[in-house]
Amino acid sequence: MSIGSFFGRGLGLLPQDFAARACKQSATCTMACSLTLRREQEISCESLSVSHECDARVNANSRLLAKCREHCCPPDTSSPPSRFWGGYVTIRNWRNSGGMQVFRTYRGLTKPTKDYPRQMGNIETAQRPRILSGMRPSGKLHLGNLVGALQNWVKLQDEYDSFHFVADWHMLTTGYENTVDLRQDTWEMVTDWLACGLDPAKATFFVQSRLPEHAELHLLFSMVTPLSWLERVPTYKEQLENIRDHDINTYGFLGYPLLQAADILMYKPRYVPVGEDQIPHVELTREVARRFNQAFGKLHLKKRSEQEWIAWGTAIRNFARPPAGKAEQFILENYHRASLDVRADYLNRDVGTLDPLFPEPDVLLTSSPRLPGSDGRKMSKSYNNAIFLTDGPEVISKKLAVYMTDPARKRRTDPGDPDVCPVFDLHKIFSGGDLISRINSECRTAAIGCVECKRLAAQNVNAFLAPIQERRKPYEQKPELVWEILEDGTKKAREVAQKTMAEVRRAVNLAP
């Protein structure tokens, strides 16, 4: 995980949304969808195995999806069936270029399963699935933050019950020595969220540190999480070795993935929008959820007769023979007092099912376009190579003037290679298709010079940022508006967090 961000990036549509409902009645659904496929053009619903008995293969748009759902999956206002949480299907936006892939992930493995077209549009669901994402408050955002995360958040807010939070405690895990600007940085970041189109009427924004429930859940997770799980997080050792300019040799830094797990699981989201590099963090969250569920989830015994339970218990070596008349109670008590390894053994012997406290969220993957900064490295505030969303035309022109180009193009008359040029990466995102093709060909024949090419890039970046900067103005004039929006969102998030923590305290048997 990068230091500057927490999560981010994501776009997905939801064939599995109605697949989840369809799972309730797979036989009918399969048949109904097959009929739909023949009658209504290319929608099929077929058996998939393990977690989903049914999935929708969609080769059409939302209208057809809605038809299929209407046909075989009637609206359902209850929570999605718990088995759905075990479904490891995620969707990936395929470079905004017309393709979308569905991935099935299982224990960290991710495999593409099917190509999907993009235009599936909004899928109306009785209950929008929840996503959760956060960002460390690093101050004003730059173009890299915009294309890497924010643009996706804005798209997602129409389709998901979106929760976005300011991960200010996470900022402390790597920067406790300097919190001078933390409050102002929070304001700047959230103002940029609003300016980019995140809408408090559609999404919930809140501040992590305003909700002590996160700290409590983090603490409870720390009781059940083996130390080795945290030590093996890929970024942990890497950053310990690489970060020399400030102290991260702390418990807080070791424990941040667990805090992240608490941040996520508190809201029981169905998806966490992340980039590929952050899949291990979500996978750790899933492992923590499984372990916590195993430690504190209530066991529902399978339906068996007294005699069958006695036979079941007697067949296990070292297991005391269940007493007649109290066999079920005996097994339940033994289960809940046993070590987690022994409980796993019980479950493997088909003792029953667990009531999960926390559903395991899936990742919602997206590939975000590469956006290099002025020196060709990834755009980042800490590399001092970024174009900020608040930069005006003059600043942008100056920054573009020193932007790296194709290093092999030394003279105006040399042909260039746009594929290795960071300025061309800006064009690919902020310029229109005609200009992109023009530069792509004229650069290769030296028909265009870098000065002119940069001027055009600056012009298009400015045009893109102008409405964002315009939307920022009311908040700059009334800074308290941003705090009020955060306060409202925090209240809403608190309701969810308090409900979750009440369930958790009950499950752990803490004092009422």
Residues that bind ligand SF4 (CB under 6 A): 405-406, 409, 416, 418, 421, 423-424, 439, 443, 448, 450, 453-454
CB-CB contact of 299 with 335 (8 Å): yes
CB 388 → ligand SF4: shortest distance, Å? 21
Secondary structure of 357-389 in the HEC alphabet? Answer: CCCCCEEEEECCCCCECCCCCECCHHHCCCCEC
CB 379 → ligand SF4: shortest distance, Å? 16
3-class SS shares of the chain: helix, strand, coil, % to 5:
50, 15, 35
SS3 202: coil
CB 456 → ligand SF4: shortest distance, Å? 8
Burial 202-240 (b: 16+ CB within 10 A, else e): bbbbbbbbbbebbebbbebbbeebeeeebeebebbeebe
If the CB atoms of residues 439 and 493 are measured against ligand SF4, the closer one turns out to be 439
CB 404 → ligand SF4: shortest distance, Å? 9
If the CB atoms of residues 100 and 443 are measured against ligand SF4, the closer one turns out to be 443
Torsion 485-491-495-501 (CA) sign: positive
CB-CB contact of 40 with 67 (8 Å): yes
CB-CB contact of 147 with 429 (8 Å): yes
If the CB atoms of residues 121 and 369 are measured against ligand SF4, the closer one turns out to be 369
CB 452 → ligand SF4: shortest distance, Å? 8
CB 413 → ligand SF4: shortest distance, Å? 12
CB 380 → ligand SF4: shortest distance, Å? 21
If the CB atoms of residues 353 and 440 are measured against ligand SF4, the closer one turns out to be 440
Phi, psi dihedrals of residue 273, rounded to the nearest 5° = -75, 120
If the CB atoms of residues 294 and 462 are measured against ligand SF4, the closer one turns out to be 462
If the CB atoms of residues 26 and 431 are measured against ligand SF4, the closer one turns out to be 431
If the CB atoms of residues 359 and 372 are measured against ligand SF4, the closer one turns out to be 372
The token duo for 284 is 């750790």
Give the other-Cβ count within 10 Å of 282's Cβ.
27
243: exposed, middle or buried (Cβ count in 10 Å: 0-12, 13-18, 19+): middle
Block residue for tokens 């315009």: 470
CB 384 → ligand SF4: shortest distance, Å? 21
If the CB atoms of residues 205 and 403 are measured against ligand SF4, the closer one turns out to be 403
